[in-house]
Amino acid sequence: MSTATSYDVVVVGGGHNGLVSAAYLARAGLSVLVLERLGQTGGAAVSVEPFAGQPARLSRYSYLVSLMPEQLMADLDLDVRLVSRTTASYTPWTRAGRTGGLLVERPEGAATRASFRDLTGGDEEYAAWQRFYAEVGDLAAVVAPTLMQPLPAEREVRALVPEGVWADVVEHPLGRAITARFTDDTVRGVVATDALIGTFASLDDPSLIQNRCFLYHLIGNGTGEWRVPVGGMGALTTALARAAVDAGAEIVTGAGVSAIAPGTDGAEVTWHDGTREHSVTARRVLSGVAPWVLRILLGEGEDAGTKPVGSQLKINLLLDRLPALRSGADPEVAFAGTLHLAEDYGLLEQAYAAAAAGAVPDPMPGEVYCHSLTDPSILGERAGSQHTLTYFGLHTPAWLFEADPGARELAIQRALASLDAVLAEPIVNCLATDADGRPCLEAKVPQDVERDLAMPGGHIFHGDLEWPWAPNRARLDTPAQQWGVQTEHDAVLLCGSGARRGGAVSGLGGHNAAQAVIAEL
């Protein structure tokens, strides 16, 4: 229960971003109250034991970290280790009866070059790959240092970036660059998937939402490396909550906010603890909930027309052993990174078209990855004798599951079929069972994510991503505008995934909102 009726700042939503805000603001000496509707903080960055009788603690929703700046982790003294994966990706392929796998190591070495040669018959595709990612690296090196600064204007970023990569990534649909630079459909697909995580689009979509998603996946800490949080995502958000509380912030869980009423120099927040209603005033309210949800809390009503639409299928599996692959690759190498399934470029476009027309894609594009190969600690006493597998499926928009009650089961079966297609034995043979003898498999379609976390439409970023800079003609008068966290109300700022630069587990929404408040108060 909160101890006061008035605070400098009330943070609505105790997701990882809300916690980052609270930690920075409390450290700056402000009084801070975080209100979280669920029984625990962390939002989509949490670990749970989903299978009765099994000690494995899985990152239930988000699972890898790239975008959280090392500077932010150092600022907040976070005692969290992010570990590199030795395999960046592995993509099984079958051509004219021959099976193989495209291995991309981290760092790339002789095996990566040999693997490109095995797939494409020469070295040209790998040279194109190296050229492309070197150029994208130039763009990342310019953007990454700006993420914890006030927004640069587009023209300022553009002036520092080579013209070719700017045109490829920022100006034209990404499909143009991918098809011009690469010839192999499998290689093209590996490049393309970073544009489609949680983003329902064709690679040729004129909105460029796929380009923005691609950019976010490549800029983290200037390297774009996706690392494993040791102990799972829950370890990260537990450390964030501790940082906030140690600095003096108050956190109340089981506190569902029902209304925010902005006034002339502050706002009133109404919340419910399940038994009774409370209200509290604040000089600033930070919204860690999606902008679409915020509008409801501000009394603007539900607008079905602007509601985000999530498009992913997440499946968590616990295995008694890793399965063998048809390609003969070592499973400990293949599953250690992102293992692409049915993600050839042509298949991605085909899946998009099918889902846009209302059908569950067949084959289902997606990727799997084994956390426990890099960090067995999440298995508890079963470390060494079990493995986890995380499946993230693309192009399963929420509407598929609304239209047809059988679509959920069909999507799960197709996801498993895409996996089985590259395995030497069916994955079900490897599944552990829970205390009741049921296979250890839990699936989350967008509706589940919305129900669990109040992410509207189950959209993993609270809405489509925006460019991480300000349009040239944007008004940047107030600190909130300068940090990309403004709403229509001076006393209410965005601190979550829906802030400009807020998407993913980055803490950037939280950091940037805190900086704006510190500048304003």
Ligand X SMILES: Cc1cc2nc3c(=O)[nH]c(=O)nc-3n(C[C@H](O)[C@H](O)[C@H](O)COP(=O)(O)OP(=O)(O)OC[C@H]3O[C@@H](n4cnc5c(N)ncnc54)[C@H](O)[C@@H]3O)c2cc1C
- Rank residues 68 and 348 by Cβ distance to ligand X and give the closer one: 68
3-state SS class at 494: strand
CA atoms within 13 A on the CB side of 18: 30
CA 65, 46, 466, 10 torsion-angle sign = negative
- Rank residues 58 and 325 by Cβ distance to ligand X and give the closer one: 58
CA-wise closest residue to 426 among 296, 497, 323: 323
CB burial string 85-122: b at 16+ within 10 A, e below: bebbbbbbbeeeeeebbbbbbbebeeebbebbeebbee
- Rank residues 119 and 212 by Cβ distance to ligand X and give the closer one: 212
Whether the CB-CB separation of 388 and 56 falls below 8 Å is answered with: yes
- Rounded least distance, CB 186 to ligand X, Å: 23
CA 469, 191, 177, 124 torsion-angle sign = positive
Q: DSSP letter for 316, please.
A: E
- Rounded least distance, CB 45 to ligand X, Å: 5
- Rank residues 17 and 112 by Cβ distance to ligand X and give the closer one: 17
- Rounded least distance, CB 293 to ligand X, Å: 6
Is the peptide bond prior to 323 cis by the omega test (within 30 degrees of 0)?
A: no
- Rank residues 44 and 219 by Cβ distance to ligand X and give the closer one: 44
- Rounded least distance, CB 46 to ligand X, Å: 8
- Rank residues 64 and 241 by Cβ distance to ligand X and give the closer one: 64
- Rank residues 38 and 151 by Cβ distance to ligand X and give the closer one: 38
- Rank residues 18 and 234 by Cβ distance to ligand X and give the closer one: 18
- Rounded least distance, CB 163 to ligand X, Å: 30
- Rank residues 46 and 190 by Cβ distance to ligand X and give the closer one: 46
Query: Measured between alpha carbons, how far is 52 from 41 in angstroms, rounded to an integer?
Result: 22
Query: Measured between alpha carbons, how far is 383 from 377 in angstroms, rounded to an integer?
Result: 6
Residues lying near ligand X in the complex (CB under 6 A): 12-18, 35-38, 43-45, 61-65, 67, 256-257, 288-289, 293, 312, 314, 444, 449, 453-455, 460-461, 496-497, 503-505, 509
Burial class (CB in 10 A: 0-12, 13-18, 19+), 242: middle
CB atoms within 10 A of CB 353: 13
- Rank residues 126 and 226 by Cβ distance to ligand X and give the closer one: 226
Query: Measured between alpha carbons, how far is 274 from 370 in angstroms, rounded to an integer?
Result: 38
Q: Which two tokens stand for residue 270?
A: 């109404």
- Rank residues 119 and 505 by Cβ distance to ligand X and give the closer one: 505
DSSP string, 118-186: HHHSSSHHHHHHHHHHHHHHHHHHHHGGGTTSSPPBHHHHHTTS-HHHHIIIIIS-HHHHHHHH---HH
For tokens 């909130």, name the residue: 480
- Rounded least distance, CB 462 to ligand X, Å: 6
Query: Measured between alpha carbons, how far is 44 from 505 in angstroms, rounded to an integer?
Result: 9
- Rank residues 296 and 476 by Cβ distance to ligand X and give the closer one: 296
- Rounded least distance, CB 285 to ligand X, Å: 11
- Rounded least distance, CB 376 to ligand X, Å: 19
Q: Which two tokens stand for residue 44?
A: 């989509």
- Rounded least distance, CB 459 to ligand X, Å: 8
- Rounded least distance, CB 394 to ligand X, Å: 12
Cα radius of gyration rounded to whole Å, the chain: 23
- Rank residues 187 and 197 by Cβ distance to ligand X and give the closer one: 197
- Rounded least distance, CB 167 to ligand X, Å: 27
Q: Give bridge partners of residue 443 from the DSSP assignment.
A: 315
CA-wise closest residue to 176 among 225, 132, 137: 132
- Rounded least distance, CB 483 to ligand X, Å: 15
Residues in the chain: 521
Q: Which two tokens stand for residue 33?
A: 């109250």
- Rounded least distance, CB 232 to ligand X, Å: 11
